[in-house]
């Protein structure tokens, strides 16, 4: 399998695609390479000694060069605005910055990963951030527990992240969703957590090291802060359950209608 693409000078060349995995009657091929740009491409593949072409019925596959914010081929960063302001939280007023915008991904494949690459120093350094269905929503609620989790997952110096939670309290508050809750107004919110006891997918055993039990009060604190601020949110504190994939998968199904509404897609409820 090869990606045959048009270069900036109008000539065509190709890059080989690597087989990734199988999905029933389909094979998934991929290419991990961000060193080239193109506005037109086709696919060539061979099987049983024969060569086949997929050229979009003779029209070639086109990457729309009319969008100046296209990043990485078929990804468009739309209405992107960098903002800077002050926030009050945790007894401090601190200066912070953020990016607001929309990411459009052309549906070339149902298997994709979308992330944002951020830089605050003109790309001398950068950091990638991905969507996740697991996270800490109130690190200031239990800073030592948060540092302990970082240490447990192999971070050599957990305080290198935001500093000492006492001496650098304002920096911690600048990364704490409970402290930043006023900024969430107008954002569709889904907050869910188990209580850390063995649930229906745990077979009577708690094997997450107490992580979900420590996250439960953080989510309760976030829900209470949102309630006091009169910010609507869908809350699912589902009781017994640990920090493990089966619960995240179930909660993703429950959150899917809200996510689809936020994305402007169909809102058919997913089966739990």
pLDDT tens column, 163-184:
999 999 999 998 999 999 998 8
Q: Are residues 139 and 258 in the same domain?
A: yes
Identify the pLDDT of residue 85.
Answer: 64
> Which pLDDT score, from 0 to 100, does residue 269 have?
42
- What was the pLDDT predicted at 242? 94
In a domain, 268, yes or no: no
pLDDT, residue 64, reads 54
> Taking a C-beta distance cutoff of 8 angstroms, is the pair 41, 3 a contact?
yes
Domain presence at residue 27:
yes
Based on the fold, state whether residues 58 and 37 are members of the same structural domain.
yes
> Do 147 and 184 have their domain in common?
yes
Amino acid 22: pLDDT: 67
CA dihedral 233, 114, 118, 163 (to 10 degrees): 60
Q: For the chain, where are the E strands, in sequence order?
A: 2-6, 12-16, 18-23, 26-30, 40-47, 50-54, 61-62, 70-71, 75-89, 92-105, 115-118, 127-130, 190-194, 234-239
Of 20, 38, 62, which marks where a domain is finished? 62
> Can you give the pLDDT at residue 27?
74
Global pTM reads 0.57
Task: Among 113, 131, 149, identify where a domain stops.
Answer: 131
Q: How many CB atoms lie within 10 A of CB 87?
A: 19
Q: Can you tell me the distance from the alpha carbon of 244 to that of 251, in angstroms, rounded to the nearest whole number?
A: 11
Do residues 138 and 40 both lie within one domain?
no
The answer to whether 217 touches 261, Cβ cutoff 8 Å, is no
Report pLDDT for 245.
86
Residues of the chain with pLDDT below 50 are: 65-72, 109-110, 267-272
- Domain residues for the domain of 162 are 134-263
The percent of residues in the chain predicted with pLDDT above 90, rounded, is 34
Kindly state whether residues 200 and 234 are assigned to the same domain: yes
Q: Under a CB-based contact definition with an 8 Å cutoff, are residues 129 and 118 in contact?
A: yes
Q: What is the pLDDT of residue 218?
A: 95
Residue 168: what pLDDT? 93
> According to the model, what pLDDT value does residue 31 have?
77
**272 lies in a domain?**
no
Query: Residue 225 and residue 90: Cα distance in Å, rounded?
Result: 12
Handedness of CA 221, 225, 227, 231 (dihedral sign): negative
In terms of domains, do 149 and 238 share one? yes
Residue 121: how many CB atoms within 10 A of its CB? 7
Q: What is the pLDDT of residue 272?
A: 36
Domain end point (choices 44, 62, 80): 62
Please give the pLDDT value at position 209.
87
| CATH number of the domain within which 172 lies | 3.40.50.1820
Q: Provide the number of structural domains found in the chain.
A: 3
Q: Are 196 and 163 in contact (CB under 8 A)?
A: no
Domain annotation covers residue 270? no
DSSP state letter for 269: P
């Amino acid at each position: 399998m090869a990606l045959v693409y048009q270069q900036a000078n109008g000539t065509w060349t190709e890059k080989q695609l690597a087989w990734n995995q199988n999905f029933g009657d389909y094979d998934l091929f991929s290419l991990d390479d961000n060193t080239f740009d193109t506005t037109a491409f086709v696919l060539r593949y061979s099987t049983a000694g024969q060569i086949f072409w997929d050229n979009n019925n003779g029209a070639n596959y086109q990457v729309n060069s009319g969008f100046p914010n296209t990043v990485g081929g078929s990804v468009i960063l739309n209405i992107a605005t960098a903002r800077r302001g002050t926030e009050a939280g945790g007894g401090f007023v601190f200066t912070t910055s953020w990016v607001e915008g929309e990411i459009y991904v052309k549906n070339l494949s149902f298997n994709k990963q979308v992330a944002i690459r951020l830089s605050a120093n003109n790309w001398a350094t950068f950091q990638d951030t991905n969507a996740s269905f697991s996270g800490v929503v109130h690190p200031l609620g239990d800073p030592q527990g948060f540092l302990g989790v970082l240490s447990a997952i192999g971070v050599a110096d957990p305080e290198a992240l935001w500093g000492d939670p006492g001496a650098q309290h304002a920096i911690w508050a600048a990364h704490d969703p409970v402290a930043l809750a006023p900024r969430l107004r107008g954002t569709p919110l889904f907050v869910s957590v188990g209580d850390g006891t063995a649930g229906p997918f745990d077979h009577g055993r708690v094997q997450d090291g107490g992580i979900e039990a420590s996250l439960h009060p953080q989510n309760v604190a976030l829900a209470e802060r949102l309630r006091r601020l009169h910010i609507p949110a869908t809350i699912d504190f589902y009781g017994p359950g640990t920090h493990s994939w089966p619960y995240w998968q179930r909660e993703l199904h429950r959150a899917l209608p809200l996510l689809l509404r936020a994305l402007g897609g169909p809102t058919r409820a997913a089966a739990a």
